[in-house]
């Protein structure tokens, strides 16, 4: 096996279209989609290593489109804020960056212009993006490889669906010595020189200009997209918040979280970057372990759900025991029934739920502890569990910066259909689904302070 072939035996790498590299190819193309960053990016690393083995330059091709499912102006603005960081980072590695946008977004047409020896992409288990990669693999005429770039342990090593944190944890931990290592971030031996005929937009281009997309959900002031901001927030977290994480993580009024989820969703930062920073931090081991449980175990359990369960965003993804118990209580009278519009506008009797909804609507993010409470109350206040699940997914995808993501789908499934949980004591409406109440949350954190923080801005 030669050095080039050895690159593609990595468990992170999936062969989409096999074959020998085009000997007349002028470059290696990296089709960037999910992993929107220039550092600690295994897909970019593979492209650079392949280019170096072939003696060819590397170019990143990134082309946003306005029809990504459930995306709106809020999401696109955050994405666009990360573009200058990508361009700067890949340039430092002597890699080209070609930015285009719909309707000039075709990877196939770009490949016709630059004549690649092979193409590398990054993976995303969501059905729409997976369908795009399958279509490309059928139409490309050169080898095409994709890389599992946004998990610490390659998803395919788990081989099948995992049913709880306690089943996936030992499998992940067994592989950490192999995968929790500092990336090399190789530099291209041959610098990319853009041909004059190859068009590219400037990194600060308004990529949404003229697009027909949902502009009713505007950008937020609470987050700024990009790898630079992600690293700043990470440094702030490990220095100031991590030492108390295990005690403060379930206190929404204190905001002791890392706030990394939007940056992980858009690929502006790697989970490996975060994990290595946490591992090296001067913080109690209990706090490090608590955070790594969220970053590694629960996040990669969510990715596993989307990878191996085609019903990941549907009520059907629940376990049999959950479907059975919810069906038994489907006819139970609800204390109140709210419409989807009432829920969206936070017009409920519950001030804590309203505050959580407003944090999401105004800020594009909701504290994870309250995401659980938020989802369970939707189950309690709607006519059917399937309706509750649909509404929760729709609101999460619409307003959260980290919506349309495995973590969101797993969180909704946990709250409403008992995914990754176990049966609890039987009660009205919920059956054996875990219950949460306003009274119980008030005992765990200062809910009055949180409510005041979130309901202070004008609601609409």
Cis geometry, peptide bond prior to residue 237 (ω within 30 degrees of 0): no
**pLDDT of 55 above 80:** yes
- Which pLDDT belongs to residue 221? 95
> What is the distance between the alpha carbons of residues 129 and 136, in angstroms, rounded to a whole number?
11
Question: pLDDT tens-digit profile of 19-43?
Answer: 999 999 999 999 999 999 999 999 9
CATH of domain 227-308: 1.25.40.80
> What is the distance between the alpha carbons of residues 230 and 434, in angstroms, rounded to a whole number?
34
Which stretch of 76-85, 231-240, 399-408, 442-451 has the lowest confidence by average pLDDT?
A: 442-451
Q: Which CATH superfamily is domain 315-455 in?
A: DNA Cyclobutane Dipyrimidine Photolyase, subunit A, domain 3 (1.10.579.10)
CA separation, residue 42 to residues 86, 158, 218, 227 (Å) = 14, 19, 32, 15
> What is the distance between the alpha carbons of residues 273 and 234, in angstroms, rounded to a whole number?
9
Q: What is the value of pTM for the model shown?
A: 0.96
Percent of the chain with pLDDT over 90: 94
- Which pLDDT belongs to residue 460? 43
**pLDDT of 345 above 60:** yes
> What is the distance between the alpha carbons of residues 346 and 353, in angstroms, rounded to a whole number?
8
Question: pLDDT tens-digit profile of 271-292?
Answer: 999 999 999 999 999 999 999 9
> What is the distance between the alpha carbons of residues 162 and 308, in angstroms, rounded to a whole number?
9
Domain boundaries, the chain: 3-149, 227-308, 315-455
Average pLDDT over residues 121-146: 96
- Which pLDDT belongs to residue 220? 97
**pLDDT of 198 above 60:** yes
Q: Hey, what's the torsion of the CAs at 234, 240, 245, 250, to 10 degrees?
A: -90
**pLDDT of 458 above 60:** no
Bridge partners for 116 per DSSP: 27
Average pLDDT over residues 179-206: 97
**pLDDT of 270 above 80:** yes
Q: Evaluate whether 3-149 and 227-308 have a shared fold.
A: no
- Which pLDDT belongs to residue 400? 98
Question: pLDDT tens-digit profile of 347-360?
Answer: 999 999 999 999 99
Question: pLDDT tens-digit profile of 61-99?
Answer: 999 999 999 999 999 999 999 999 999 999 999 999 999
> What is the distance between the alpha carbons of residues 64 and 421, in angstroms, rounded to a whole number?
37
- Which pLDDT belongs to residue 457? 52
Question: pLDDT tens-digit profile of 309-330?
Answer: 999 999 999 999 999 999 999 9
| Alpha helices for 281-405 (secondary structure H) | 285-292, 299-308, 320-328, 340-344, 351-363, 368-381, 385-399
- Residue burial 293-307, b: 16+ Cβ < 10 Å; e: rest: ebbbbbbbbbbbbbb
- Quick one: pLDDT band at residue 456, thresholds 50, 70, 90? low
Strands 58-62 and 144-147, by their bridges, are unpaired
> What is the distance between the alpha carbons of residues 362 and 219, in angstroms, rounded to a whole number?
9
**pLDDT of 1 above 70:** no
CA separation, residue 407 to residues 122, 295, 300, 306, 402 (Å) = 18, 10, 9, 9, 8
Average pLDDT over residues 394-422: 98
- Which pLDDT belongs to residue 5? 86
- Which pLDDT belongs to residue 267? 98
Give the chain's end-to-end CA distance (angstroms, integer).
62
- Which pLDDT belongs to residue 455? 81
- Which pLDDT belongs to residue 459? 44
The answer to whether 330 and 316 are in contact (CB under 8 A) is no
Domain 3-149 CATH (choose: 3.30.160.20, 3.30.420.40, 3.40.50.620, 3.20.20.140)? 3.40.50.620
């Amino acid at each position: 096996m030669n050095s080039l072939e050895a690159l593609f035996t990595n468990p992170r790498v999936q062969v989409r279209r096999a074959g020998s590299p085009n000997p007349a190819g002028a470059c290696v193309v990296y089709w960037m989609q999910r992993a929107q960053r220039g550092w600690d990016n295994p897909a970019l690393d593979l492209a650079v290593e392949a280019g170096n083995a072939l003696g060819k330059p590397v170019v990143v091709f990134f082309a946003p489109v306005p029809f990504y499912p459930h995306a709106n102006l809020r999401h696109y603005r955050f994405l666009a804020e990360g573009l200058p960081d990508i361009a700067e980072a890949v340039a430092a590695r002597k890699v080209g960056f070609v930015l285009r946008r719909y309707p000039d977004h075709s990877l196939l047409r770009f490949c016709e212009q630059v004549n690649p020896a092979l193409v590398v992409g990054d993976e995303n288990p969501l059905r729409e993006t997976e369908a795009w990669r399958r279509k490309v693999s059928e139409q490309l005429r050169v080898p095409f490889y994709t890389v599992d770039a946004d998990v610490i342990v390659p998803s395919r090593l788990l081989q099948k669906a995992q049913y709880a944190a306690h089943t996936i944890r030992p499998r992940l931990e067994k592989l950490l010595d192999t995968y929790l290592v500092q990336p090399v971030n190789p530099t291209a031996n041959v610098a990319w020189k853009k041909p004059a005929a190859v068009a590219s937009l400037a990194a600060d281009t308004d990529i949404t200009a003229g697009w027909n997309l949902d502009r009713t959900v505007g950008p937020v002031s609470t987050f700024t997209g990009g790898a630079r901001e992600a690293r700043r927030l990470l440094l702030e977290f490990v220095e100031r918040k991590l030492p108390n994480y295990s005690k403060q993580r379930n206190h929404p009024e204190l905001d002791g979280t890392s706030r990394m989820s939007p940056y992980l969703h858009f690929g502006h930062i790697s989970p490996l970057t975060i994990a290595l920073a946490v591992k090296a931090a001067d913080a109690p081991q209990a706090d490090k372990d608590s955070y790594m449980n969220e970053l590694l175990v629960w996040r990669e359990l969510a990715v596993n759900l989307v990878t191996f369960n085609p019903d990941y965003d549907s009520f059907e993804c629940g376990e049999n025991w959950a479907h059975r118990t919810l069906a038994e209580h489907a006819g139970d009278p609800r204390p109140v029934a709210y419409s989807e519009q009432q829920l969206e506008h936070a017009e409920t009797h519950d001030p804590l739920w309203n505050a959580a909804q407003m944090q999401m609507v105004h800020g594009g993010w909701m504290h994870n502890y309250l995401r659980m409470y938020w989802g369970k109350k939707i189950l309690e206040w709607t006519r059917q569990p399937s309706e509750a699940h649909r509404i929760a997914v729709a609101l999460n995808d619409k307003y959260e910066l980290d919506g349309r993501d495995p973590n969101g789908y797993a969180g909704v499934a946990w709250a409403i259909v008992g995914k990754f949980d176990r049966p609890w004591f039987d009660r009205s409406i919920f059956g054996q689904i875990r219950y949460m109440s306003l009274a119980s949350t008030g005992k765990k954190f200062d809910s009055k302070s949180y409510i005041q923080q979130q309901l202070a801005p004008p609601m609409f």
